Copies of this chain bind each other. A is one copy, B any other.
């Protein structure tokens, strides 16, 4: 699909031009990760069929799996009612998390509270 100007303007980008994008495994239904997209990363995602995010820490486009090989093939993109969040249904080539866990949400808040570390 093409992303025209009207569509882009109707989306509710934040003050940094970003939207949160949830990646969900289309096969298992597991929520894998949350990252951010700007218009350029969304365009690149649509063009390539692979999830491309915007890295807020590195301030650069970030093709998921570019270094790890754990890319995410995009099956469908959904947008919520007020157009400020995206949901990507993906077919992942490997673990989503940099810890090699299948999903970044592998800890319960209880577990985190017992050992409150950012990984």
- On A, residues with C-beta under 8 Å from B are 1-4, 6-7, 9-12, 20, 22, 24, 29-31, 33-34, 76-83, 85-87, 97-99, 101, 104-110, 112-113, 116-119
Q: Which B-chain residue is minimally distant from A25 (CB atoms)?
A: B29
Most chain B CB atoms below 10 A, which of A22, A33, A86, A119: A22
* Inter-chain contacts of A110 with B (CB < 8 A): 1
* Inter-chain contacts of A104 with B (CB < 8 A): 80-82, 85
Contacts A/B (CB < 8 Å), 16 sampled: A10-B117, A10-B118, A22-B34, A31-B31, A34-B85, A77-B108, A78-B105, A78-B108, A78-B109, A81-B98, A81-B99, A81-B119, A82-B104, A82-B119, A85-B104, A86-B109
Top 8 A-B residue pairs of the complex, sorted by shortest distance between their CB atoms? A29-B29, A10-B116, A80-B104, A78-B105, A77-B109, A34-B85, A81-B119, A87-B105
A86 to B105 alpha-carbon distance, docked (Å): 8
* Inter-chain contacts of A10 with B (CB < 8 A): 112, 116-118
A112 to B93 alpha-carbon distance, docked (Å): 28
Given contacts A31-B24, A31-B31, A118-B12, contact A83 B112 (CB under 8 A): yes
